[in-house]
Every structure is written in C-alpha cells, then in structure tokens.
C-alpha cells in the first residue's frame, strides 16, 4: 500500500489530518523555506504520490510552483 503525501495550507489543519500531511503557511516566503524539507520527508516515507495546493504564480510563489512541478517530474494532474 503506497503512501500518499499531502501539502495543504495550515488553516485546514482541522479538516485534513494524517501521518503524511504537511502544512504550509499562506506566505510564499514561508513555503519556500520549508518546501525542500517537506519533499525530502515525503521521499523518505516512501510516498509515490503527493497532492499539493498550488501557490500563486507570482514572485516567490512562482519559484515554489516551479519546484513542485520539477519534483513531480513534470507529471502534474489538476483535480
């Protein structure tokens, strides 16, 4: 049973809980600061699928979005 990772905003903590859930602040700078660690954590847990919120594609948000897309090997499915 492969694990799934979830990246969601911290204001959803009451709704989305689980072993492999990581929470992001709404600030793009904060997201950029924790993103690599969260992606490593998913990798180390054996997760082969990660669902993530999509940050705004401006400023630092664009860098976060770019890193997420690259981590997905450009295999992005919008749901």
Does residue 1 surpass a pLDDT of 80? Answer: no
Q: Quick one: average pLDDT of 43-54?
A: 90
The DSSP-derived string for the chain is ---EEEEEEGGGTTT---TTEEEE-S-HHHHHHHHHHHHHHHHHHT--EEEE----SSTHHHHHHHHHHHHTTT-----
- Please say whether the beta carbons of 37 and 24 come within 8 A: no
Tens-digit pLDDT profile for residues 2-48: 689 999 999 999 998 888 999 999 999 999 999 999 999 999 998 98
Task: Count the Cβ atoms, other than its own, within 10 Å of residue 76.
Answer: 11
For residue 35, the model assigns a pLDDT of 93
């Amino acid at each position: 049973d492969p694990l799934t990772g979830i990246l969601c905003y911290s204001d959803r903590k009451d709704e989305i809980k689980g072993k492999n859930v990581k929470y992001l602040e709404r600030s793009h700078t904060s997201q950029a600061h924790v993103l690599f660690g969260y992606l490593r954590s998913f990798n180390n847990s054996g997760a082969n699928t990660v669902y993530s919120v999509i940050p705004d594609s401006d400023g630092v948000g664009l860098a976060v979005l770019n890193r997420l897309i690259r981590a997905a090997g450009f295999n992005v499915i919008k749901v």
